[in-house]
Amino acid sequence: MHTQSRIPKLQDATFDGALLWFSEMQCGKLLFHPEDDPDDIIRISSGERMFSTDEASELRFVLNELDEKLGHEKVIEAAYPIFMKAFGNPLDA
């Protein structure tokens, strides 16, 4: 049986596409820092891994694609406003 992935599809490997993807990850309560290995992310509430092995592979694929197209610093820059909003610190427009 094949289950549907919780990882949103990357629509476009552009800066705006990365912003959308990180936002969709946040909406799904799956946001994590792109410099962390998805295999190492543990839910504090349960002590269980946040992502399955297949999901971690899928996340690495997406992040590698973004790194190749945008460069590592731009990927971090795209994640930044999503993290700020998630932590209750929205950026000024």
What is the reported pLDDT for 23?
A: 96
User: Which tokens is 6 given?
Assistant: 């919780």
pLDDT over 90 at 87, yes or no: no
What is the reported pLDDT for 33?
A: 94
Distances, alpha carbon 37 to alpha carbons 2, 62, 75, 90, in Å = 24, 12, 15, 26
Rounded Cα gap, residues 69 and 6, in angstroms: 23
What is the reported pLDDT for 1?
A: 54
Name the residue ranges covered by the structural domains of the chain. 15-86
Confidence of residue 5 (pLDDT cuts 50, 70, 90): confident
Q: What is the pTM of this model?
A: 0.89
pLDDT over 60 at 93, yes or no: no
